[in-house]
């Protein structure tokens, strides 16, 4: 995700903004807000206070059935038959409505996910709008090719929407990653049943309401909230779902591939990461350390491409560790609604306990806890930004995705050693390299096993560039024209001219 400039300070800040008023939240199916057929609900908690902020309808297989049926009707009816340019106009109107509700949506995202409001306004929300407007522009430009196969035939290709899409969205960037899936699928003419993460369902429900207001026909976008073990599995196994797009953990991704094999659904997966941020001793160490801190502590480290392994050449190692520790200790931790806050809570008690368990594992493995590694306060799921020094490549904290504000700083000798360490995990999502030697950084970029390589920077993304990885980091690519391939099927047409 995009790197940001942090606001530094020393004190935990008091709340500075009032949370938006919330109501009981219902499913959105076929253009209407409805209760789950079972009547069951679940609670959504504010990660910063542990207080209940909403009661949300808990969907199940029966709700998925009616949502998929609505999506199928809309696909065969008004959405697929609508002029592509008109679909684009609706998406642009939706973007304008979202912008008119900027403060409301940003506050909702901050409250529900524990994200600092300044970061939401700086990255999450603008990125969602950029994605929507970018793919709105593509709606009437998705075309095929004339292929001159032979003289007695007119042969050409067209690209048709894949059909009903199940979009399963994670909790770390619910608004932004949600739009990464919604915008291209809708631009291509697909219809959608979206399952937001159980922990962060609120922004999806609100933006879907605004999509209806923008003119999206009933059934084109449906939201079914609830746990992955029921709603997610029902979508993956549903015979009338044509495509699954998922962002989340490798373990769940493997389960989705198995479930989708039942009727050969198309699948795209954006999964985990253990990205290496490599700093050679000839780099600008101040710039590299600043970006390395942002690359791991942004969104409390809950980022698939977080630079959770900082690899530093021997001569620069001590200085980089010192700089990282200083930046970690200066981060302003506090209420996400306060615009001065740089580091909010992690998403849940379960996630907090998992991260703290990894801190203990790191200490037991012999790594040096240079700073952090503790819970902050006794309310909310705050963890102090954590720097481990003297980390060995084979340690679990170096190999396993922690998904929290924990960085392992690892020493390397030379270019070959750096590349060996950078490629030495099961993941291949992203990598960064810092050096004044242009040949060195280009060699590294070519040989690094990563879907994205940043040179003398870290963390930037743009919807116009492909995004994704291989191995345990996933399957396929999002963004750019790659996303159009995700949601369309090519069809060849052969017309005999000798009639």
pLDDT digits (tens, 9 = 90+) for 267-326: 999 999 999 999 999 999 999 999 999 999 999 999 999 999 999 999 999 999 999 999
Name the pLDDT band for 10 (thresholds 50, 70, 90).
very low
Name the pLDDT band for 88 (thresholds 50, 70, 90).
very high
Average pLDDT of span 142-148 = 94
* Whole-number Cα distances in Å, 145 to 157, 418, 491: 5, 44, 10
Please identify which residue in the block is written with the tokens 């998925």.
64
Mind spelling out the 3-state secondary structure of the chain?
Answer: CCCCCCCECCCCECCCCCCCCCCCECEEECCEEECCCCCCEEEEECCCCCCEEEEEECCCHHHHHHHHHHHHHHHHHHHHHCCHHHHHHHHHHHHHHHHHCHHHHHHHHHHHHCCCHHHHHHHHHHHHHHHHHHHHHHCCCCCCCECCCCCCEEEEEEEEECCEEEEECCCCCHHHHHHHHHHHHHHCCCEEEEECCCCCCHHHHHHHHHHHHHCCCCCCEEECCCCHHHHHHHHHHCCCCCEEEEECCHHHHHHHHHHHCCCCCEEEEECCCCCEEEECCCCCHHHHHHHHHHHHHHHHHCCCCCCCEEEEEHHHHHHHHHHHHHHHHHECEECCCCCCCCECCCCCHHHHHHHHHHHHHHHHHCCEEEECCCECCCCCCCECCEEEECCCCCCHHHHCCCCCCEEEEEEECCHHHHHHHHCCCCECCEEEEECCCHHHHHHHHHHCCCCEEEECCCCCCCCCCCECCCECCEECCECHHHHHHHCEEEEEEEEECCC
pLDDT digits (tens, 9 = 90+) for 387-446: 999 999 999 999 999 999 999 999 999 999 999 999 999 999 999 999 999 999 999 999
Question: What is the pTM assigned to this prediction?
Answer: 0.94
Name the pLDDT band for 5 (thresholds 50, 70, 90).
very low
Residues with catalytic roles = 270, 304
Range name among 18-27, 103-112, 251-260, 328-337 with the lowest pLDDT average: 18-27
pLDDT digits (tens, 9 = 90+) for 163-211: 999 999 999 999 999 999 999 999 999 999 999 999 999 999 999 999 9
């Amino acid at each position: 995700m995009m790197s940001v400039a942090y606001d530094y300070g020393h004190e935990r800040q008091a709340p500075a903004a009032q949370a938006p008023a919330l109501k009981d939240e219902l499913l959105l199916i076929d253009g209407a807000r409805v209760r789950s057929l079972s009547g069951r609900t679940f609670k959504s908690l504010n990660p910063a206070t542990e207080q209940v902020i909403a009661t949300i309808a808990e969907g199940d297989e029966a709700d998925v059935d009616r949502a998929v049926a609505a999506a199928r009707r809309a696909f065969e009816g008004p959405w697929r038959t609508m002029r592509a340019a008109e679909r684009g106009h609706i998406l642009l109107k939706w973007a304008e409505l979202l912008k008119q509700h900027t403060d409301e949506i940003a506050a909702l995202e901050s409250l529900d996910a524990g994200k600092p409001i300044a970061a939401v306004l700086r990255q999450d929300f603008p990125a969602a709008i950029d994605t929507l407007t970018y793919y709105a522009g593509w709606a009437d430009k998705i075309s095929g090719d004339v292929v001159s196969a032979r003289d007695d035939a007119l042969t050409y290709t067209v690209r048709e929407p894949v059909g009903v899409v199940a979009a399963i969205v994670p909790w770390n960037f619910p608004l932004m990653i949600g739009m990464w899936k919604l915008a291209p699928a809708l631009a291509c003419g697909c219809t959608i049943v979206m399952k937001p993460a159980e922990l962060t369902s609120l922004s999806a429900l609100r933006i879907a309401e605004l999509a209806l207001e923008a003119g999206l026909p009933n059934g084109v976008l449906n939201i079914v909230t609830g746990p992955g073990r029921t709603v997610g599995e029902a979508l993956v196994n549903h015979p009338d779902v044509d495509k699954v797009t998922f962002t989340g953990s490798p373990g769940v991704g493997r389960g989705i591939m198995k479930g989708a094999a039942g009727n050969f659904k198309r699948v795209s997966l954006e999964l985990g990461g253990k990205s290496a941020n490599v700093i050679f001793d000839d780099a600008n160490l101040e710039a590299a350390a600043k970006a390395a801190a942002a690359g791991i502590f942004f969104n409390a480290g809950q980022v698939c491409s977080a630079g959770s392994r900082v690899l530093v050449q021997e001569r620069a190692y001590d200085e980089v560790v010192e700089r990282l520790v200083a930046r970690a200790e200066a981060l302003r931790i506090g209420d996400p609604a306060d615009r001065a806050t740089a580091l909010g809570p992690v998403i849940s008690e379960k996630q907090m306990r998992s991260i703290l368990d990894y801190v203990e594992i790191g200490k037991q493995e012999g790594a040096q806890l240079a700073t952090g590694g503790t819970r902050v306060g006794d309310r909310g799921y705050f963890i102090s930004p954590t720097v481990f020094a003297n980390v060995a490549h084979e340690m679990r904290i170096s190999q396993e995705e922690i998904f929290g504000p924990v960085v392992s700083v690892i020493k390397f000798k030379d270019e070959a050693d750096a590349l060996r360490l950078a490629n030495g995990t099961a993941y291949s999502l992203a990598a960064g390299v810092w050096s004044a030697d242009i040949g060195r950084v280009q060699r590294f970029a070519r040989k690094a096993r990563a879907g994205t390589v940043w040179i003398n920077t870290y963390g930037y993304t743009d919807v116009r560039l492909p995004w994704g990885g291989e191995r345990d980091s996933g399957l396929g690519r999002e963004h750019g024209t790659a996303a159009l391939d995700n949601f369309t099927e090519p069809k060849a047409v052969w017309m005999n001219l000798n009639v």
